[in-house]
Amino acid sequence: MKHEIIEIDKTSELFPRSLIEIGDDCPEKLYLMGNVELLKAEKAVAIVGSGLDIVHPRENILLQKRILQRQGLVLSEQPLGTKASPKTLVRRNRLQAALSQIVVVAQCPAKSGTLYTVEFARKYCKEVFAAQFKYHNEFTGGNDYLLTEGIAKGI
């Protein structure tokens, strides 16, 4: 399956002080590109949907260690021992929106947890931006909706 990938570097240049959400529902390549950009940050903040003693997804173990080594922050409102679930991930999305200056949607399907983040961002009067794609597919349906309905500004 082929995915259209936007350059995270372009987004970082446009919004250098923003929190770029790299969601669990992004295609793997985009997710990994986002994590590489996060690792370039001098100090990064990761907001997780599990207890701090459980890394979700497991592939993020090294990422979280690197964030902490660089004096960054891994933040959770879940008690220790709590596994990530749809409910805790929505709570995480609320925190992401609350702590962000703006929200940038890189890529999301029509049914995506990222849309909760957008909903919270609007509630908190934050600007929302979404990547525009030349080609539309199941992975860009959420972006298409946000742009068509005027909920997000295109980038």
- 9 phi/psi in degrees, rounded to 5: -55, -40
- pLDDT at position 54: 93
Mean pLDDT for 93-99 is 91
- pLDDT at position 155: 87
Contacts made by residues 39-43, CB under 8 angstroms, sequence distance 24+ = 39/63, 39/66, 41/70, 41/72, 42/70, 43/70, 43/71, 43/72, 43/73
Strand partners, 20: 104
Maximal CA-CA distance, the chain: 43
- pLDDT at position 38: 55
Rounded CA gap, 103 and 16, in Å? Answer: 12
Q: Which residue has the higher pLDDT, 17 or 145?
A: 145
Rounded CA gap, 75 and 95, in Å? Answer: 9
Amino acid (1-letter code) at residue 32: L
Mean pLDDT for 112-127 is 93
Q: Which residues contact 78 (CB under 8 A, 6 or more apart)?
A: 48, 49, 50, 51, 52, 88, 91
Rounded CA gap, 152 and 92, in Å? Answer: 21
Reported pTM: 0.71
| Residue 35, CA distances (Å) to 8, 40, 124, 128, 144 in order | 10, 9, 26, 21, 24
Looking at the chain, the whole-number percentage of residues with pLDDT higher than 90 is: 39
Mean model confidence pLDDT for the chain? 77
Rounded CA gap, 45 and 26, in Å? Answer: 19
Mean pLDDT for 102-115 is 89
Listed range (20-24, 57-61, 101-105) with the worst mean pLDDT: 20-24
